[in-house]
Amino acid sequence: MAASPVYLRLLEAEKAFGERRILSRASFRLSRGEKAVLIGPNGAGKTTLFRILAGRESLDGGRLERLRGIRVFYLPQDFRPKGGSVWELAYRSTPLWAAEQLLEQLPPEESAAAWERVRELGFWKGRVGRTLADFGLGEELWEREVAGLSGGEGVRLGLAMAFLSGAEVLLLDEPTTHLDLRMRLRLEELLLAYPGALGLISHDRALVGRVASTVYHLEAAQLIRVAGGYASYLQEKERIQRTVEKARKEAEKERERLLEAVPDRRRPGQDRRRAQKAQLRERAQRIEAPEPLPPERRWSLEIAAEGTPRLVAEVRGLKKSYARHPRPDTPEPLEARTVLRGVNLRIFRGDRIALLGPNGAGKTTLLRVLLGQEWPDEGERELMPGVRTAYLDQHFHGLEPDKGLFEQFRERFGEARASAMLGRMGFRPPHWFDPPARFSGGERARAGLALLSGLRAGLLVLDEPTNHLELELLEALERALIEYPGTLLFVSHDRALVQKVATRFWGIEEGRLVEYPGYREAEAAMLGKPALRQNPYGELLSEPEALSEERDLEAERLALRERLDQPGLSERERARLRADLLALEDELWQRYAAEFYRPHPYRHAVVEEGLPVFADVEMGLWHFWSSEGSLEGERVGGAVLLAGEAPRRTLQGALRILFELEDIGLVTYQGKAYERPFIRPPAPTSRRRRKPRAGTV
C-alpha cells in the first residue's frame, strides 16, 4: 500500500526572537489524512510554528517544503475577519468563488469551460448556508458586517470558512475557545471526517483524545513527535525522557573513553600514537550528546473552604430580561429578550454542579444574579448568612483589570504571602506591577488561579475557568477542584473537567433550568437528541419546617457573632454571649449530623482507585455510575450482562460490587467474561450520603 503523500515538511528548522529560541533543529511533517495536535506550555512558540507552516513567518535556518499545488488554510487565535458581510466572506472561501474570479479574467473564447466548471460547483451555495448554521451563524447574521461580530462569532465564521475552503491542509490555532458544547461536538465530527491533513493546537483534552493520530510537543525549542493520541503521548513522553537521558549519559561516557584511550607516556612509536590520539579526539568531538528534555513542571494548586450551612443558596421564581437595541437599519424598538424565566433552585452544602448550555443561554446571567451582581426582574435570591463566596469571571478571573497585579494581592493577603502565591503560578517580579488588562488570556487565567488558592470560600463560582489554560495547569485545577471540600457551581465546556468534577448537571433550555441525571443525558440534550430531564424547580415545594428552623438558627448565630465583635462589652456580657453561641452551634451541629448520616439513596458504593462508584438495582436491572461514566446491567440466572461504555475504574468498581457485595458468580461485558475470584479482598465500606429532598436541588 502506497504511503500517503507528505503535504508539509519542516527540516532542521531554527527560529528565535532575539535571545529567546523558539525552534532548534526541529523537524515536522504532515501527510494526507494525518491529524496532528501540537501541545506545549503557553509561550513555547506553538503559534509561531503554525505561522511558519502557513508561510506567514520566516525561518532563521532549515527549510520548509510544501507539496506543489496544495492549499493551506490557517485559522489564527481570536480570528478577526475584515471587510464584507458574513455571507460574503464565507462564500469567498469556497472554490466556486475562485472559479468565478477566473471566469472574469478569461477572454470570451476560453470562458465556456469556466462556465461549465461554475455550474458543476453550484452546490456550494447550499453548503455555505448549512456550514454557517453548523457553527451557530443563522440567516439573521448572514448580512451583518463582519466588523460587528463578537470574538466568538468571528472564530465560528473562521471555522466555517475553513471547512468551506476545500483546502488540503487545515491549521487551526485554539479553535474551541469560544465554542459551546454542541459546537465542540460538531467540530469534532467535522474534523474526524475531514479527508485532508489537519494541524491543531488545542487544550481540549476530549477533542485531542478523539481526533489526534499524531501528537507534537513543543517546549524549550525542542519539538517531539509521538504517534498516537493524547494517552499514547503521556506514556511516550516519560519513555522519551528516560531514553534521551540514557543516550546523553552514554555519549558522555563514550567521549571520555575515547579521550583516555591512548596514554601520553613517551615510548617508541610516539609519533604514531600522537596521530592516533588526534584521531580519537576528533572522533570524540564529533559525538553529539542529545540535549536533555526540559523538566516537566508540576503545578501545585490547593483550594481551601470555610464551612457553610446545609442550605447554601436559594432562588425562587427568577425572571431576567435584557432590552434589545435596534440596529441602524431597523430603528423600530425591539421587545426585551427574556433570558431566564421561572427559575427555582436550591444549592446544598457539598454540591458540585456543572451549569451547561449553549452560548447566550443565560448561564453567566444566572451566576451573576445568584451572587447579587445583577438584579432579577422578578423573583427572589438568597445566599444563606455566613456563606463566603468566590467568583472568577471568564474575562479577568476575579481581578481588577486596571490595577497592578501585586497591589491587588498585597491588599488581600499581605506582601510576603502575595509574593509566594504569584511565584507559585509562574509570575516573576518584573511582571508583578502590570495590570491584568495587559496580560494574555493564559496569564490572566493563571493570575485567577493564584487568587483562588488564597481564598477560603464556602461557595466557589467559576465561569469558564479553563479558557487559555495549558494542559498541565488545567489538570492541576482539575485535581484541586476534585479535592475542594466546599460547594462548587461552575460553567465549562471542557468535557473532561465536567465529567471528572461534577456530581450534578444543570442546563438552561429556553430560559428554564433543568437537571439531567448524568453527563450523557446532558450531552444528548445539548445536541438536540432525546434525553431524560428532571425539572424539580418548576413547582417548588413549600419549605420543610426543619429547613426553615435551620435558616433561623443560622441567622441567629451570625447575629451573635456580630454582637461579640462589638467593642465595650463587659466580661459578663461577653461570657453570656459565648455560652449562647456555643449552645446554638451545638444544636446546629446535631441537626447537620443527623442530616448527613441519613441512609444513602443508592444500594452500594465503593471507591476504586480514588473514584467513587455507585450502584442501584430496580426490578432486576442494575445501574452503575461514577463521575466518569455509567453502565447498565441485567441479571440472567446467576450472571449479570453489562452494557454501555465506561472507563476502566468504573468497570472495576461495578465488578467489585457484583462479586463482593452481591455474590454474583459471572459477569459479561463487551464479549468478555469475568468470574468471581476465589480469594476476595476485604469488602469496602460503603460511604453514606445525604438523600436529596424531593422537589429541591
Query: 616-648, pLDDT tens digit by residue?
Result: 776 567 888 877 777 888 877 778 888 877 788
Is position 438 within any domain? Answer: yes
Q: Coil, strand, or helix at residue 290?
A: coil
* Sequence letter at residue 73: F
Domain residues for the domain of 255 are: 247-286
| 458 located within any domain | yes
Same-domain status, 158 and 268? no
pLDDT of residue 602: 62
For cell 465542540, name the residue. Answer: 184
- Do 343 and 252 share a domain, yes or no? no
Residues of the chain with pLDDT > 70: what percent? 76
Same domain flag for 73 and 90: yes
Q: What are phi and psi of 340, to 5 degrees?
A: -130, 140
Q: What are the angstrom distances between the C-alpha of 380 and each of 347, 374, 460, 472, 514?
A: 14, 12, 21, 41, 18
Asked whether residue 448 is domain-assigned, the answer is: yes
Q: What percent of the chain has pLDDT over 90?
A: 21
With respect to residue 258, please indicate whether it lies within any of the assigned structural domains: yes
In a domain, 262, yes or no: yes
Cα 592 to Cα 542: distance, rounded to the nearest angstrom: 20
C-alpha cell at 481: 477542584
Q: Say how many domains are in the chain.
A: 5
Position 154 pLDDT exceeds 60: yes
Residue-wise pLDDT tens digits, 455-477:
889 999 999 998 888 888 888 89
Q: What is the pLDDT of residues 191-210, one digit of tens each?
A: 999 999 999 999 888 888 88
Q: Please indicate, yes or no, whether residues 324 and 203 belong to a single structural domain of this protein.
A: no
At 255 the pLDDT is 65
Q: Give the per-residue pLDDT at 398.
A: 82
Mean local confidence (pLDDT), 8-34: 93
The predicted pLDDT at position 179 comes to: 84
Q: Are 458 and 389 in contact (CB under 8 A)?
A: yes
Domain assignment present for 544:
no
How far apart CA 404 and CA 438 sit, in angstroms, is: 10
Find the mean pLDDT for residues 48-53.
95
Does one domain contain both 278 and 338?
no
Residue 32 in any domain: the answer is yes
Residue 34 belongs to domain with CATH number: 3.40.50.300
pLDDT, tens digit, for every residue of 61-117?
A: 999 999 998 999 999 987 887 888 888 888 888 877 666 665 666 666 556 665 565
Q: Are residues 630 and 586 in the same domain?
A: no
Statement to judge: residues 103 and 201 lie in one domain: yes
Residues in a beta bridge with 64: 10
Residue 378 neighbours by CB under 8 Å, 6+ apart: 317, 318, 319
CA distance 645 to 648: 10
* Residue 591 and residue 616 in one domain: no
**pLDDT score, position 325:** 53
Higher-scoring residue by pLDDT: 589, 320: 320
Residue 543 CB neighbour total at 10 angstroms: 15
More confident residue, 26 or 521: 26
Look at residue 120 and give its three-state secondary structure: helix
499 vs 504: CA distance, rounded Å:
10
Distance (Å, rounded) from C-alpha 198 to C-alpha 208? 12
Residue 594 pLDDT > 80: no
Provide the pLDDT for residue 619.
57
Judge if 95 and 184 occupy the same domain: yes
Is 151 found in the same domain as 20? yes
pLDDT of residue 103: 61
The neighbour count for residue 139, using CB atoms within 10 Å, is: 11
Strands 378-383 and 222-227: unpaired
Q: Where among 195, 210, 233 does a domain terminate?
A: 233
Query: Is residue 596 pLDDT above 50, yes or no?
Result: no
Domain for residue 212, yes or no? yes
Only one residue has cell 579521550, namely 259
Question: Within this chain, do residues 265 and 360 fall inside the same structural domain, yes or no?
Answer: no
Residues 327, 275 within the same domain: no
